[in-house]
Amino acid sequence: MNGLTPGFADPVPDAQACFRALLDAMARPGRVQRLAALPEAPAPLAPAAAAVLLTLADAETPVWTDAGPAAEEWLRFHAGCPLVAEPGSAGFLLAAGGLPTLTALEAGTEEEPHRSATLIVQVAGLEPGEGWRLTGPGIEREHRLQVEGLPRGFLADWASNGARFPRGIDLMLCAGNRLVALPRTTRIEEAG
Amino acid sequence: MTALGYNFGYLDENTKRMIRRALLKAVAVPGHQVPFGAREMPLPYGWGTGGIAVTASVIGAGDRLKVIDQGADDTTNAVSIRRFFAKVAGVETTERTGEATIIQTRHRIPETGLREGQILVYQVPMPEPLFRLEPRVAETRRMHALADYGLMHVKLYEDIARHGHVAISYNYPVLVGGRYLMSPSPIPAFDNPKMDRMPALQLFGAGREKRIYAVPPYTSVKSLDFEDHPFRPVRADAPCALCGSRESYLDEVVVDDKGGRMFVCSDTDYCNTRQAAREAAE
Ligand SMILES: [Zn+2]
């Protein structure tokens, strides 16, 4: 663990503060949350993405990531989570370099839709007020969100994910200290 | 650790993480019951262990907590839970609905409309809305998976055939997001319409059954009914004897040893606020 950067400075209150931001993010899809208490995660981990895993992952949650050995070592040490090579067997996925195929991830079952993966994706930018139109539970009328850095074809994949409700994965987008959650119930329309 | 040697919020961090993961999935699938494997709470069931487990996993030092039992802030149960969290989480407490960030409740929804950013935590004795009609857990899970709620519609229709109306005054079943049948916990049916598209986040914790479920803000919550027998919330046809409200849910209370009775608001904060406003105006 030589050279490992620290996790949360004050783990109990920092995890609580992060969880509240996540809960608010899931309850209000598309609203940009700024996480205040952030760990010193090694590159290429975005601080918000690292904070999510410190808050939610542990020995019971297999994690998949493409962020490389330094990130893996850091996660193993600070979150205590097992790392898996197969995206389909992960409870949490942290994608730093591209989007895994959504249909290859655990989507839960009709009886146990909660046994589905949560995919954390690092993106280049998250801006509220313009871009996509989001509707669904948690949204009074619509939320607008501009996301930079997702591949073409994402919206079609997301629509397919929503079509298998109650099965489906849930998404968290992170950029720097910013975070947006998109539960499987959120419908996205291209700006227009 | 607090000065008393408890971890903040009483639960250990592993348990909180497990409950937090369950809460996020519960919000992602509105109305679906998510199991959680928490250790035993140091409280007897019926005391609100499920609600306490949820509150303990959510609460932070900056929160202001209100606890109500049947609408009242001053019952033994409500006072004890408030003191518990003041001790183990060091949070401020309040009796004012508008000032609270988290409201833990047993059997009522406050009369004062809740707003964005507030969290309402329900203590749930029995999370399964179908349990009286179908005792087999595997079978109720299958019904939820298929959204096969015919059994409940038949029960309600039999009520109407027998009594001319649905004979459920508490724990009246609701459909969440047009998909999941959900127990609103034993709140009066009068409170059901407050759940529909509520701006606050609603979280439900069942301690004995170890289930968590949730309704995100602005989510449709419909009381089951029929076109020719629409759902009608009922309240006693009287004004509150203390504040005069004709809108609030009323409790009938005995006022003397000669059997004298009167109707008063079940929501003590709402009633006290109205009485204070009336005195100030006089
Ligand atoms: Zn009153």
**Whether residue B121 sits in one domain with residue B241:** no
Question: Do B217 and B249 share a domain, yes or no?
Answer: no
Residues B200 and B274 in one domain: no
Reply yes or no on whether the pLDDT at B8 is more than 80. Answer: no
Query: Which H helix or E strand runs over A73?
Result: helix A69-78
pLDDT of residue B5: 52
- How many domains does the structure of chain B reveal? 2
**Ligand 1 centroid to residue A98 C-alpha, Å:** 59
Note the pLDDT of residue B234. 87
- Percent of residues, chain B, with pLDDT higher than 90: 83
- The pLDDT of residue B121 is 98
Query: Mean pLDDT across chain B, nearest whole number?
Result: 93
Chain B: give the shortest CA distance to residue A171, in Å.
Answer: 10
Q: What are phi and psi of A16, to 5 degrees?
A: -65, -45
**B122 and B241 both lie in a single domain:** no
Whether B29 and A114 lie within 8 Å, measured CB to CB? yes
In a domain, B217, yes or no: yes
Q: Is B240 a catalytic residue?
A: yes
B200 and B75 inside one domain: yes
**Is the CB of A114 less than 8 angstroms away from the CB of B18?**
no
Has residue B136 been placed in a domain?
Answer: no
The answer to whether residue B4 is domain-embedded is no
Do B95 and B195 lie in one domain? The reply is yes
Which CATH number applies to A11-189?
A: 3.40.50.11310
For the stretch B215-265, pLDDT in tens is 999 999 999 999 999 999 889 999 999 999 999 999 999 888 888 899 999
* Residue B152 within a domain: no
Q: Is residue B18 part of a domain?
A: yes
> Could you tell me if B281 and B198 lie in one domain?
no
pLDDT tens-place string over residues B101-152? 999 999 999 999 999 999 999 999 999 999 999 999 999 999 999 999 999 9
**Within a domain: residue B141?**
no
Full residue range of the structural domain in which residue B186 is found: 13-127+175-222
Q: Does B13 touch chain A (CB under 8 A)?
A: yes
Cβ partners under 8 Å of residue B3, min gap 6: none
Q: Which residue has the higher pLDDT, B4 or A94?
A: A94
Q: Cβ(B76)–Cβ(B68) under 8 Å?
A: no
CB A179, CB A33: distance < 8 Å:
yes
Residue B55 lies in a domain: yes
The residue among B60, B78, B132, B63 whose CA lies nearest residue B266 is B78
Predicted confidence (pLDDT) per residue in A105-135, tens digit: 999 999 999 999 999 999 999 999 999 999 9
Block residue for tokens 């931001």: A21
ipTM of predicted assembly, 2 dp: 0.98
Interface of B with A in 233-272 (CB under 8 A): none
CB within 8 Å of B190: residues ≥ 6 apart:
B233, B234, B235, B249
The DSSP string of A54-65 is HHH--TTS-EEE
B199, B75: one domain: yes
- Is the pLDDT at B38 greater than 90? The verdict is no
Q: Sheet with A118-122: list strands edge to edge.
A: A33-34, A178-182, A170-175, A118-122, A92-95, A63-65
Residue-range domain boundaries for chain A: 11-189
> Predicted confidence band at B37 (pLDDT cuts at 50, 70, 90)?
confident
Over residues B192-208, mean pLDDT: 97
Residues B257, B201: one domain? no
Orientation angle between helical segments A47-56 and B13-28, nearest 10 degrees = 110
Alpha-carbon dihedral sign for residues B11, B17, B20, B21: negative
Whether residues B57 and B119 fall in one domain: yes
Residues of A with CB under 8 A from a CB of B: 11-13, 15-17, 19-20, 22-24, 26-28, 55-56, 58, 60-61, 109-111, 113-114, 116, 118, 137-140, 165-166, 170, 183-185
Per-residue confidence at B39, pLDDT binned at 50, 70, 90? low
Q: Does the structure show a pLDDT above 90 at A3? A: no
CA–centroid distance, residue B239 to ligand 1 (Å): 8
Q: Are residues B242 and B120 in the same domain?
A: no
Asked whether the predicted pLDDT for residue B3 surpasses 80, the reply is: no
C-alpha span between B110 and A111 (Å, rounded)? 33
Sheet of A125-135: strand order equals A143-148, A125-135, A187-189
Residues 6 or more apart whose Cβ sits within 8 Å of residue B194: B109, B113
CATH of the domain at B96: 3.40.50.11310
Question: Hey, is the C-beta of B211 within 8 angstroms of any chain A C-beta?
Answer: no
Name, in order, each residue with C-beta under 8 angstroms of B239's C-beta and a sequence gap of 6 or more.
B245, B246, B263
* Residue pair B175/B224 in contact by the 8 Å Cβ criterion: yes
Q: Is the pLDDT of residue B4 over 50?
A: no
- Mark yes or no for CB contact B216/A138 under 8 Å: yes
Give yes or no for residue B69 having a pLDDT over 70: yes
- pLDDT single digits (tens) A30-72: 999 999 999 999 999 999 999 999 999 999 999 999 999 999 9
B178 vs A: CB within 8 A = no
Same domain, B120 and B214: yes
